[in-house]
């Protein structure tokens, strides 16, 4: 079985179909009152735009429900082919939430249609000088009813038995971009968390960890898309394991949360972090060559033992970014995590990342991770992933930053 088919077997495609009435019509020349001698530019130079037929606030509920449906899919999935790729194990949870959205949409639609005529009249009263051009463009209620609808579709994606090689390669290219899309979506959520809930705070409540937990669950559910995801999930698990059951979060623990969120806010740094942890877990191959033998025979016994290479691979230290600091490919893992133009913020970011490294090193010296299982070990091949259902009871609410 190909890698492409292994991915397709573990996901479904969910298409959200939301149609929302725009309440707009094209603005015509005759709708305008021009002063004597005024002249409109030709259509190939400029267009007049559109006119609103009623208060746009009356349609905001439909746009809100559509965005909420998209967020529900993005919590466990990623965008693909105009829809959302979602792990099979999480499909039932997602469709249950979409059913709720469909019911709310239907109720809002009925209320809007009942008050449609009154909404149009209110809009004309608010703009009496242009009531005529509004009235001429009004759509019938029957037409408006067809422009308000919400539905979704769940399908499996599979390769046909007979398909040209070029088509297979095209699909593989699309699937290969899923990993990049996933890390981008994670970075957007992490950046919102940093900007709105962590920067400049001396203490936070446990609610601030809800976005991090959702990020962790999304990465875990889609770990089969990229082998570098598993060690990143283990890093987040290590952080969440330090959070107290009650009380505010402050001090060095808050700084470590900030540093982790800042790392996740950079897709490239996140990928390199996972790759570095994987490299640290793989023992270096021991090569026996004639040159090695000659060197060993000519070694001066008076030389200090510290200058000799170890006889066996260095023990693997799980989920600690410092374990790869000696690797030239990852020496700059946390350098410039936000390479933007704000020099004032760069000092804060470097400080937070340094705190994360110091905390990890302290855990090593205290034997914090000695008795923990190695969660960062990546599977040898894609596995069937179950979505996390251990969200707190208030996780079904709308995201706190929206």
Residue 10 shares a structural domain with residue 100: yes
Q: Is residue 386 part of a domain?
A: no
Decide: residue 372, CB within 10 A, 0-12 exposed, 13-18 middle, 19+ buried.
middle
pLDDT of residue 199: 85
Does this model's pTM top 0.75? My answer is no
Within this chain, do residues 119 and 186 fall inside the same structural domain, yes or no?
no
Q: What is the pLDDT of residues 326-377, one digit of tens each?
A: 444 444 544 544 454 444 444 445 555 555 555 555 554 554 444 444 443 4
Assess whether 230 and 359 both reside in one domain: yes
Confirm whether 306 is domain-assigned: no
Judge if 133 and 72 occupy the same domain: yes
Could you tell me if 362 and 260 lie in one domain? yes
Beta bridge partners of 152: 16
Quick check: is 339 in a domain?
A: yes
Q: Phi-psi region for residue 319, left (φ > 0), alpha (ψ -120 to 50) or beta?
A: left
Tell me how far CA of residue 44 lies from CA of 27, 48, 221, in angstroms: 15, 11, 51
Ranges of residues in the chain with a pLDDT under 70 are: 1, 28-48, 282-402
> Is residue 69 in a domain?
yes
The residues, ordered by sequence, that sit 6+ positions from 376 with a Cβ below 8 Å of its Cβ are 230, 231, 233, 234, 235, 277, 278, 281, 318, 319
pLDDT for position 68: 95
Q: What is the pLDDT of residue 361?
A: 55
Do 108 and 228 fall into the same domain?
no
Question: What is the residue range of 370's domain?
Answer: 176-284+314-381
Give me the helices (H) in 12-140, please.
Answer: 60-76, 91-114, 116-126, 131-137
pLDDT of residue 356: 55
147 and 185 in a single domain? The answer is no
Inside any domain, residue 8: yes
pLDDT digits (tens, 9 = 90+) for 233-272: 998 999 888 888 888 888 889 999 999 999 999 988 888 8
Is 36 part of any domain?
Answer: no
Residue 35 lies in a domain: no
Residues 6+ apart with CB under 8 A from 368: 362
How many other CB atoms are found less than 10 A from the CB of residue 240?
14
In a domain, 337, yes or no: yes
Shared-domain flag, residues 127 and 203: no
Domain count, the chain: 2
Same domain, 119 and 248: no
The whole-number pLDDT of residue 317 equals 39
Domain co-membership, 342 together with 234: yes
Helix (H, G, I), strand (E, B) or coil at 335: coil
Taking each continuous run of H as one helix and of E as one strand, the counts in the chain are 13, 8
* Domain-terminating residue out of 123, 155, 187: 155
Mark whether 195 and 116 lie in a shared domain.
Answer: no
What is the spatial distance between Cα 220 and Cα 236, in angstroms, rounded to a whole number? 10
Same domain, 195 and 341: yes
Dist CA 129 CA 346 (whole Å): 54
């Amino acid at each position: 079985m190909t890698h492409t088919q292994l991915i397709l077997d573990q996901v479904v495609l969910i298409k959200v179909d939301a149609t929302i009435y725009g309440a707009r019509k094209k603005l015509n020349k005759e709708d305008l009152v021009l002063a004597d001698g005024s002249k409109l530019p030709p259509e190939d130079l400029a267009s007049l735009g559109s006119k609103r037929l009623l208060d746009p606030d009356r349609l905001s509920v439909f746009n809100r429900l559509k965005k909420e449906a998209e967020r529900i899919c993005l919590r466990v999935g990623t965008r693909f082919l105009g829809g959302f790729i979602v792990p099979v194990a999480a499909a039932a949870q997602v469709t249950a939430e979409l059913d709720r959205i469909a019911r709310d949409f239907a109720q809002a639609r009925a209320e809007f249609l009942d008050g449609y005529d009154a909404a149009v009249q209110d809009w004309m009263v608010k703009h009496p000088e242009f009531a005529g051009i509004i009235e001429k463009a009004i759509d019938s209620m029957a037409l408006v009813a067809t422009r308000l609808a919400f539905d979704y579709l769940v399908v499996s994606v599979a390769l046909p038995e007979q398909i040209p090689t070029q088509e297979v390669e095209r699909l593989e290219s699309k699937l290969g971009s899923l990993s990049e899309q996933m890390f981008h979506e994670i970075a957007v959520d992490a950046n919102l968390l940093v900007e709105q809930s962590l920067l400049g705070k001396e203490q936070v409540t446990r609610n601030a960890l809800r976005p991090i937990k959702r990020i962790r669950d999304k990465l875990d559910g889609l770990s089969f898309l990229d082998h570098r995801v598993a060690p990143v999930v283990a890093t987040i698990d290590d952080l969440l394991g330090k959070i107290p059951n009650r009380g505010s979060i402050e001090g060095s623990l808050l700084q470590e949360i900030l540093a982790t969120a800042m790392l996740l806010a950079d897709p490239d740094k996140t990928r390199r972090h996972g790759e570095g942890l994987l490299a640290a877990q793989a023992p270096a191959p021991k090569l026996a060559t004639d040159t090695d033998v000659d060197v060993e025979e000519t070694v001066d016994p008076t030389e200090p033992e510290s200058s000799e290479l170890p006889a066996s691979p260095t023990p693997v230290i799980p989920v600690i970014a410092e374990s790869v600091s000696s690797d030239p490919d990852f020496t700059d893992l946390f350098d410039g995590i936000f390479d933007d133009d704000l020099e004032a913020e760069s000092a804060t970011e470097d400080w937070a990342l340094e705190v994360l490294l110091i905390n990890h090193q302290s855990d090593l010296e205290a034997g914090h991770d000695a008795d923990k299982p190695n969660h960062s070990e990546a599977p040898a091949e894609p596995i069937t992933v179950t979505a996390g259902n251990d969200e707190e009871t208030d996780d079904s609410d709308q995201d706190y930053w929206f």
